[in-house]
Structure 1
Amino acid sequence: MSALTASRLAAILEEGMPGAARAVAGYEALGGGTYNFLYRVRLDDGGRVILKLPPDAGTPRLTYEGELLVNEAEFYRSVVGVPVPEVVHLALDWVLMTECPGEPWSGLANGLGDAEHERLRRELGSYVAQLHAVTGTRFGYPSGAVPTADTWREAFMAMLEAVLADAERFGVKLPVSGERVRELVRGAVPALDEVTVPALVHFDLWQGNILLTGEAGERRIGGVIDGERMFWGDPLAEFVSLNLFGEPEDDPALLAGYRAGGGAADFDRSARLRMALYRCYLYLILLVEGVPRGYPPARTAVTRRTAGTALILALGLISTTA
């Protein structure tokens, strides 16, 4: 997408915040995103809003990435008790939202002491439990880019089939064939029938999407952002994105906060099987998305070495557990 122009910004603000276009002190692009474009808009009265724009129409993307802003707006509007942006206005091809205070955890991580890190992980765990207490009416992505469904099994299989079709469409060479993935998954999906209530799942809770406020040693979570990849589904899927190549038990502080916040975190045999399915889905996304986004060869090689190996291990667990 070409750079945001002052005239386009004025038109957006006139629709989303009538009168604000005459009070713009400036705007700047924000980095960190991998798909949509983000801008901070500064107003004369000291206020600030965030503008998010999608790539140009026709830009290569994965199927589930259609209408991501719809997902993001639904996430913010659904959340209760967790610091998230407030949606100011959602249009067809942009969203305006308030700005949460703080800096990305990912940029501050090296300066956190062990005690502060554990306290923040407990706080995050409590917030995650509050997210999962929010329920919807159908399973899947709110955008409908992948069809939603009345059952989690049907919705998840549609999500998995979409990314496997993307792999074929973009000519991605997977470490395991799509047919082998389908064959193994088919034997495990009955475990998904245990999930009967669509819960709010962020599914992208890495440290870059968590803002921290306060001074060193006293930091708190100021915002949970970038809810564009949310779906209504199984809360266990969240632990896959929270511990990308590990197990939930690797993060005892987060689990303690989750349980203290009212979340149920019992990882029995069925839960392990379901998480293996969600790992397969997430690792497939990581392996496929690099092609339409044009990632450099070095980054692609790292992804194949990490996510590719992890995919094989997850499928191995499915084959021996299902």
Structure 2
Amino acid sequence: MTDAPGLADRVAALLGEPVTEAGPVGGGSVCRSVRLRRRSGGTVFAKTLADAPPGFFAAEAAGLRLLGGTGTVAVPEVLAADERTLVLEWVEPGPATPAAAERLGRELAALHRVPAPGYGTAHAAFIGPLPLPAAGPGPASGLPGGGEDWAAFHAARRLLPFLRQAADRGAMAPADVRAVERLCELLPRIGGPAQPPAVIHGDLWSGNVLFAADGRARLVDPAAQGGHPEADLAMLELFGCSHLERVLAAYEEVRPLPGRRERVPLHQVHPLLVHAVLFGAGYGAAAGRAARAALTSV
């Protein structure tokens, strides 16, 4: 059922000191997460996945370091990682206050002003348990010299791969498949103003926003990459977030995005396709509806 002794032993080896489990941590749907006490004092957060894909926790650690290194948003400090385990500083949860939500909005706006070297990543990355197609050399790279804009990248590396997976698993009706394919064809016309690659969280649903006792939200479980900033905001709107309107209003005070609200369905298609792959046809139908909504602007 659980591997608490094994996990505690692995964390102890990674930290170089004994630890004891202090209890499970809820909220995740992929990994088992626990709180552990260090002999030297204090607590840490650890998560494990027995059959983690190669590079799974290294990618998460790299994403947290990327976000934290921008100096714009708060993330837990990465303490250690191996192929089956990630150890982070413990962040004491706190209330989701309006002030914390407004600060989060301003910090996200600052994050999205940080340029990325290209769209996607050149290394392994994951959204939930699913690998994200990495950018590579050539016209579909999204990296400097790759010769690809956001629309081409998003269609080829984000929408179509997950559409195919969802369809192969029987999670997409034919009409919904056609709607997403049509969206990919017309993406250059409906994607809005040109957007150079910016650093984004990449999987910013409410469960990956941890409101902390110190009044500042932490971002966790990123699929950090070069991408379109509106993707993060659309993800928050898709699955909700405490004081969401405060978050969005504070964001747009710092970084106005004319026409963004009309483009929300466009940026929700990708996470809905991911959920269709993981959880089935209900999300496939939602992806089709979002694609058709996005196409109404043509």
Q: Structure 1 segments of 4 or more deviating over 4 A?
A: 190-193, 307-310
Retained in 2: the 8 A contact 1:104–1:210? no
Following TM superposition, by how much is the alpha carbon of 1:231 offset from its aligned partner in structure 2, in angstroms? 3.1
| Match 2:250 to one of 257, 261, 265 | 257
Q: Secondary structure at the match of 1:26?
A: strand
Retained in 2: the 8 A contact 1:201–1:234? no
The alignment status of 1:69 with 2:57, answered yes or no, reads yes
Retained in 1: the 8 A contact 2:36–2:44? yes
Q: How many residues align?
A: 274
Aligned residue in 2 for 1:85: 76
Q: Secondary structure at the match of 1:176?
A: helix
| Match 2:42 to one of 32, 38, 47 | 47
Aligned residue in 1 for 2:15: 17
1:162-219, Cα deviation, whole Å (9 max, x unpaired):
21122133222447342342123211245558122232234323156322316xxxxx
Aligned residue in 1 for 2:138: none
Aligned residue in 2 for 1:209: 209
The alignment status of 1:143 with 2:124, answered yes or no, reads yes
TM-score by length of 1: 0.72
Following TM superposition, by how much is the alpha carbon of 1:128 offset from its aligned partner in structure 2, in angstroms? 1.3
Counterparts of residues 32-181 of structure 1 (less than 5 Å): 32-56=27-51, 67-78=55-66, 79=68, 80-103=71-94, 105=96, 116-117=97-98, 119-141=99-121, 142-144=123-125, 145=131, 146-148=133-135, 149-150=141-142, 151=148, 152-157=150-155, 158-174=157-173, 176-181=175-180
Contiguous gaps of at least 5 residues in structure 2: 126-130, 136-140, 143-147
Following TM superposition, by how much is the alpha carbon of 1:125 offset from its aligned partner in structure 2, in angstroms? 0.6
Retained in 1: the 8 A contact 2:11–2:19? no
- Give distance in 1, aligned partners of 2:2 and 2:40: 25
The alignment status of 1:233 with 2:221, answered yes or no, reads no
Following TM superposition, by how much is the alpha carbon of 1:283 offset from its aligned partner in structure 2, in angstroms? 1.9
- Give distance in 2, aligned partners of 1:310 and 1:40: 36
Over 3 Å counting, the alpha-carbon distance change for 1:25 and 1:319 in structure 2 is closer
| Aligned amino acid, residue 264 of structure 1 | P
Over 3 Å counting, the alpha-carbon distance change for 1:314 and 1:170 in structure 2 is closer
Over 3 Å counting, the alpha-carbon distance change for 1:316 and 1:154 in structure 2 is closer
- Give distance in 1, aligned partners of 2:180 and 2:12: 46
- Give distance in 2, aligned partners of 1:45 and 1:222: 27
Following TM superposition, by how much is the alpha carbon of 1:310 offset from its aligned partner in structure 2, in angstroms? 4.5
Retained in 1: the 8 A contact 2:76–2:220? yes
- Give distance in 1, aligned partners of 2:56 and 2:266: 23
The alignment status of 1:318 with 2:294, answered yes or no, reads yes
- Give distance in 2, aligned partners of 1:191 and 1:255: 22
Following TM superposition, by how much is the alpha carbon of 1:11 offset from its aligned partner in structure 2, in angstroms? 3.5
Following TM superposition, by how much is the alpha carbon of 1:77 offset from its aligned partner in structure 2, in angstroms? 0.7
Following TM superposition, by how much is the alpha carbon of 1:43 offset from its aligned partner in structure 2, in angstroms? 1.2
Which range moves more in the overlay, 277-286 or 311-320? 311-320
Contiguous gaps of at least 5 residues in structure 1: 59-65, 106-115, 215-219, 292-299
- Give distance in 2, aligned partners of 1:245 and 1:212: 20
Over 3 Å counting, the alpha-carbon distance change for 1:134 and 1:48 in structure 2 is farther
Retained in 2: the 8 A contact 1:174–1:287? no
- Give distance in 2, aligned partners of 1:36 and 1:159: 23
| Aligned amino acid, residue 63 of structure 2 | F
- Give distance in 1, aligned partners of 2:51 and 2:86: 15
Following TM superposition, by how much is the alpha carbon of 1:245 offset from its aligned partner in structure 2, in angstroms? 6.9
Decide which structure has greater helix share. 1
- Give distance in 2, aligned partners of 1:245 and 1:102: 20
1:25-83, Cα deviation, whole Å (9 max, x unpaired):
3343322101122121111233111112235258xxxxxxx754344222321222422
1:141-182, Cα deviation, whole Å (9 max, x unpaired):
552531223233343221112211221332224473423421
Over 3 Å counting, the alpha-carbon distance change for 1:42 and 1:138 in structure 2 is same
Over 3 Å counting, the alpha-carbon distance change for 1:211 and 1:255 in structure 2 is closer
Retained in 1: the 8 A contact 2:115–2:196? no
| Aligned amino acid, residue 196 of structure 1 | P
Over 3 Å counting, the alpha-carbon distance change for 1:191 and 1:177 in structure 2 is closer
Aligned residue in 1 for 2:196: 196
TM-score by length of 2: 0.77
